[in-house]
Amino acid sequence: MMRTRPLKVALLGCGVVGSEVTRIMTTHADDLAARIGAPVELAGIAVRRPDRVREGVPAELVTTDATALVKRGDIDVVIEVIGGIEPARTLITTAFEHGASVVSANKALVAADGAALHAAAEAKGADLYYEAAVAGAIPLVRPLRESLAGDKVNRVLGIVNGTTNFILDKMDSTGAGYSEALDEATALGYAEADPTADVEGFDAAAKAAILAGIAFHTRVTIDDVHREGLTEVTASDIASAKRMGCTVKLLAICERAEDGASVTARVHPAMIPLTHPLASVREAYNAVFVEAEAAGQLMFYGPGAGGAPTASAVLGDLVAVCRNKLAGATGPGESAYTRLPVSPMGAVVTRYHISLDVADKPGVLAQVANIFADHGVSIDTVRQSGKDGEASLVIVTHRAADAALSSTVGALRELDTVRGVASIMRVEGE
């Protein structure tokens, strides 16, 4: 039997995502009520610019006083889609204090302060859900937190930023350089006017922190995530990857150590074999590859951003939280019982692709090979070409620790016969 008294919802933010949340709540009100077991009522919408025209948004619900809205006391659920650290953090904790549960799409805040937010929610018997914080419409948080709760996840490898995937895909498919591909992404609306958060890996790093924390039941913040952007990726790197039967992707990689005693979380460009499922992810799409002990290999794929896809994830959380409200219960909170340390990047073991500019004369390859051997880095393949006194060496290593590779490169730079290190890129997914 359906409850007639509606559950009241406050919406913080009414931009691209917030407007879609409002539209779906309005046009699908009957379906949402049937799925929840009670009607849901949008009781207020907090915005910064009330004079901005928002099609389909009831003007009488709009307010600039977000604090007063979350303090009302009759609000059952607060949806936060304003982003950033403050005032979002204060508004969310205030909502908990006044009896509301929270649905958020705020990856930056959850990645930076998720533990404190979960603690605040638990103290007040409230829910904190954030499916929309990672990869838009793709269900990831709930499958990791609930569907795989009885399994042991060992690795999460993913493309979690659509802007960077679009740029790298265009560089791969058209031969464009980074700047040219970024211009196209901007023109099509895939890149912001200031694309720093995307192209420098900050966005992906926040998502990696969230995924690692959930997958490995430990606390991982964005400060624990090693981050490299794609601004240094060149057309030459893309061509080298093709010659190896690979493509280049900006990957978020979260791994449990082989001995199970620690975890790593990192974001950086990497070559990935064309045979790997992630290699076929094109345009601005996202995909995440999960490796679990019992379930094996799983892949989640779909649109990772945009108003409607992100709103879909928000509404999914809203339904779950409202059901919990009606049942007088809460859903899963933070699970950090393993307390595993996050190892530094220097401890990460992977393969490397190194391109060197060297003098074209006898003995250079032997010198370079000796440097690798001295630092305990085993060479898998070497390709050499050159003329007119200049040459290039392309070396692919076997698996080596990042620290060992860094010391190797440092020693190579000291050789008179090495003119420069053109590029270094990790090789993943093998």
Which residues belong to the active site? 207
Q: Which two tokens stand for residue 59?
A: 């003007």
CA dist., res. 214 & res. 210, Å (int): 6
Sign for the CA dihedral angle at 297, 301, 305, 309 comes to negative
Per DSSP bridges, beta strands 153-159 and 246-256 are antiparallel
Identify the H or E element spanning 91: helix 88-97
Going from the C-alpha of 176 to that of each of 60, 135, 168, 241, the distances in angstroms are 49, 26, 9, 15
134 Cα distance to chain centroid: 6
Q: Any residues with CB less than 8 A from the CB of 287 and at least 6 apart, and which?
A: 138, 158, 159, 277, 278, 281, 299, 300, 301, 302
Of 79, 68, 62, the residue nearest 9 (C-alpha): 79
Going from the C-alpha of 337 to that of each of 119, 140, 143, 213, 215, the distances in angstroms are 14, 20, 19, 11, 12
CA dist., res. 350 & res. 334, Å (int): 30
DSSP tag of 262 = -
CA dist., res. 183 & res. 181, Å (int): 5
What SS3 state is found at 29?
Answer: helix
